[in-house]
Structure 1
Amino acid sequence: MDRKIIHVDLDAFFASVEQKDNPSLKGKPVIVGGGTNRGVVCTCSYEARRFGVHSAMPGFMAKKKCPHGIFVPVRHWRYREVSRDVFKIFYQLTNLVEPLSIDEAYLDVTNMDKEPIQIAYWIKNEVRKKTGLTISIGISYNKFLAKLASDWNKPNGIKLITKDMIPDILKPLSIKKVYGIGKKSEKRLNNIGIFTIEDLLKLPKEYLVDFFGKYGNEIYDRIRGTDNRQVKPSRERKSIGREVTLREDTKDKKYLEKYLLEFAKDISSSLEGKEVLAKTITVKTKTSDFESHTKSKTIHEYINSYREIYNIALDILDEIDMKDEIRLIGLTVSNFSDHEMEQLSFFDDKTKALL
């Protein structure tokens, strides 16, 4: 029996939440983040996207492309709040929910009595009724096709891809629509005349394996409608972190330390809320010439105290060569365990007394 997989994706989520909370922003080009010339766009409304604005774009460039854009600060706490309300709707249907991000998930509805299309419309109505937001939904018999379908008629779209449509419905699509093909691979394929999935279908499996390595087999299968990945409800978050683009480039470690302290407190709060501990701490920097660097330290004990996270971050920062000015600073923790493990302190009592 074929599986019934639904992929759900909230439309321009952060920007849509801002428009919902402030009705005066409806129908206007809202840009979340990037409010300063040194800032970076987090996301934007569809009205702003028509001007060519997109996520990860520098704020100064977004202002040039969309002079009348309305820049609003990022409110992560609010987006998490709305996301929880939306995911409650998904869990009313099934426990087979695999979150991909704060605004995106797979649902396996194979064993439900109703048809997937009915379920999809119910989800759309519930999300609209309880949050005021729109959601795009893709339906198919595997994860690759369901995700592809949800992007088909954005925003507020719905698309069903059935077995009999494959591979014809895929042939005109750009190769960048194929999960596993990034920008570098796309460019390399374009250089040899491969632009669409139809072009890709002509390549033998051996060539794709040689080209992509171990992912070649998966790409070969997916464009032919085969994807055996299961919906995994216990998907684990691999890291928790914060970062910021600074108002001015700097070599001042004291200035950077203030941000690391703020990040450590926020991350500690998230760890406590999720009842997990971490033992790998990573500091990320980006220099004035946009080169990114990360440096990590893994300790022997699992921790969640902001003081311990902060002090380890300071140790890492001290090891970073400040020959170039820094424009971005970030802090991340990973390598998680749960709270049931004995929580040992990385610092002795004498050190704690100094904190």
Structure 2
Amino acid sequence: MRNAPTILHLDMDAFFASVEQASKPSLRGKAVVVGGLGPRGVVATASYEARVFGVNSAMPMAQARRRAPNAAYLVPRFTVYRSISEQVMALLRELSPLVEPLSLDEAFVDLEAGGTAWDEESARLAGVRLRADIRAVTGLTGSVGLAASKMLAKIASEQAKPDGLVLIEPGTERALLAPMTVRTLPGVGPATGDHLRRAGITTVEELAEAGEDELVRLLGKAHGHALYAMALAHDDRPVVAEREAKSVSVEDTYDVDIHDRLRVGLEVQRLADRCVGRLRGAGLSGRTIVLKVRRYDFSTLTRSETLRGPTDDPAVIREAAARLLEAVDTTGGVRLLGVGVTGLADYTQEDLFAQAAQPHSAGAVEAAPVAAVAEAVPEPEEPAERHWRAGQDVRHTEYGPGWVQGSGLGRVTVRFETPQSPPGRVRTFSVGDPALEAGEPLPLVLDPGLAHSPTRPTPPSGHIAVPGAG
């Protein structure tokens, strides 16, 4: 590990929701939830105002609506998010050639490799300037963590949220980690956390005190060694420059083997939904669905199915995973299940959360109030291009640009405003109104070219930046 806090972790604040608030003046300071609005939709991102009500990422949308009924519920606009992400990543590459994106809104940067920072003072200055540049170029905020390792930089950025900067001084790492829950460490999920809790280990300090041998006994050689090192604040993983993702997957190991076939099927469905969440978070879709099953005797089986084209539709991925499970014998018990997607591709359409048109009963009439954006429910007889979705950009020949607040029963409600305007007026039209058409997203900042590039401090005499030095 290095002896200066020159690894930076950037995490944009509630990225998707913040973009929507910046785009739509009427939603600023209000609860906004972005995700799939269909009956099986999940939350992709919730604004901080929505999180007050207990709405979080990966939560079923139905549950989110119960907790925050007056929030604005919007479909994601990945074209917009990807464009802004590219602006942010360009700022990071001004700091260093070693930038490791983790998703559209998160990345590690090796400041030392770019000669941008070599000690605590220069690292803090680089972080402050980066945050200012992000705000100038995008109008959004990001939280920055600075530390001597990737693990600690990520922990620091989490502490900095929202819209802050935290630097962990070298030599203070173990004291900082000691009282934190074991779930703070990378690789400690719910199952491992529960396993450690049953062994009387709940904090990082207790993890370190347990000793390496005990952790190996509890968790296995590889996991035990890795967690013990992290508990001592040791993490020498280098920042790896951008590379193409090969697959997206999730898996769970169960403390007690699952024998019930129905429970196995439900777990596979849940994992498929989590996998879709990660897929969308990375701005990707995929063609090949993979099921992984580790049985009671530790034998591991994988089954895969390749679709006609890339998808991120949760219903399609759930159904494919269920078909793959039908070919696997689980009667002896299952100790691990996983669902993954390979054959990845970039998204090529804006409406990435596929919404199955659900027939509404005669009494199921949903209004489109101003405070709560209604779910877009197109009339069955309308052509596909007239399916208006909550949050979608539109343009009217008379009223100009706006966005869909909701639709249903042959009507669509639109609020006419732009990122630079005051909150706009709401008007309602027929879904087939020829004066209303899909619109292009407007820039959040009128002239991002006016923003300055990050200024690089001059290293002291004798300093040599070594690319990839860790």
Q: Higher relative CO (CA 8 A, sep ≥ 6), structure 1 or 2?
A: 2
C-alpha distance after superposition, 1:185-230 (max 9, x if no partner):
1111122322221222211101112222212111111121211111
C-alpha distance after superposition, 1:264-307 (max 9, x if no partner):
xx9xx979xxxxxx9x72278xxxxxxxxx95247xxxxxxx96
Shift of 1:155: 0.5
> 1:14 & 1:308 partners in 2: Cα distance?
26
Give the residue type in structure 2 aligned to 1:334. Answer: G
> 1:6 & 1:108 partners in 2: Cα distance?
6
> 2:325 & 2:3 partners in 1: Cα distance?
56
Relative to 1, partners in 2 of residues 1:34 and 1:207: Cα closer, same or farther, differing over 3 Å? same
> 1:331 & 1:106 partners in 2: Cα distance?
24
CA contact (8 A) 1:240 1:334 kept: no
Identity of aligned residues (%): 37
Give the residue type in structure 1 aligned to 2:27. Answer: L
1:78 match: 80
1:7 match: 9
TM-score, with structure 2 as normaliser? 0.54
1:55 aligned to which of 45, 54, 57: 57
1:121 match: 128
> 1:181 & 1:235 partners in 2: Cα distance?
25
Give the residue type in structure 1 aligned to 2:133. Answer: E
Relative to 1, partners in 2 of residues 1:6 and 1:135: Cα closer, same or farther, differing over 3 Å? same
Give the residue type in structure 2 aligned to 1:197. Answer: V
2:153 is equivalent to residue 139 of structure 1: no
1:44 aligned to which of 29, 43, 46: 46
Shift of 1:89: 0.5
Superposed counterparts of 1:1-355, under 5 Å: 2=3, 4-111=6-113, 112-114=115-117, 115-213=122-220, 214-239=222-247, 281-282=288-289, 295-297=303-305, 320=323, 332-334=341-343
Shift of 1:166: 2.5
2:448 match: none
The structure that has the greater radius of gyration is 2
**Count of equivalent residues:** 279
Shift of 1:146: 0.6
Shift of 1:168: 1.0
- Unmatched 5+ residue regions in structure 1? 242-265, 272-277, 285-293, 299-305, 324-329, 337-355
TM-score, with structure 1 as normaliser? 0.70
Greater helix fraction, Structure 1 or Structure 2:
1
Give the residue type in structure 1 aligned to 2:3. Answer: D
1:259 match: none
CA contact (8 A) 2:3 2:170 kept: no
Instruction: Identify which range, 143-152 or 198-207, moves more after superposition.
Output: 198-207
Shift of 1:335: 8.0
CA contact (8 A) 2:177 2:233 kept: no
CA contact (8 A) 2:116 2:126 kept: no
Local SS of the residue matching 2:54? coil
Local SS of the residue matching 1:32? strand
CA contact (8 A) 1:163 1:225 kept: no
Give the residue type in structure 2 aligned to 1:66. Answer: A
- Unmatched 5+ residue regions in structure 2? 250-279, 292-301, 327-338, 346-470
C-alpha distance after superposition, 1:38-58 (max 9, x if no partner):
321111001111111111111
> 2:341 & 2:177 partners in 1: Cα distance?
38
Give the residue type in structure 2 aligned to 1:67. Answer: P
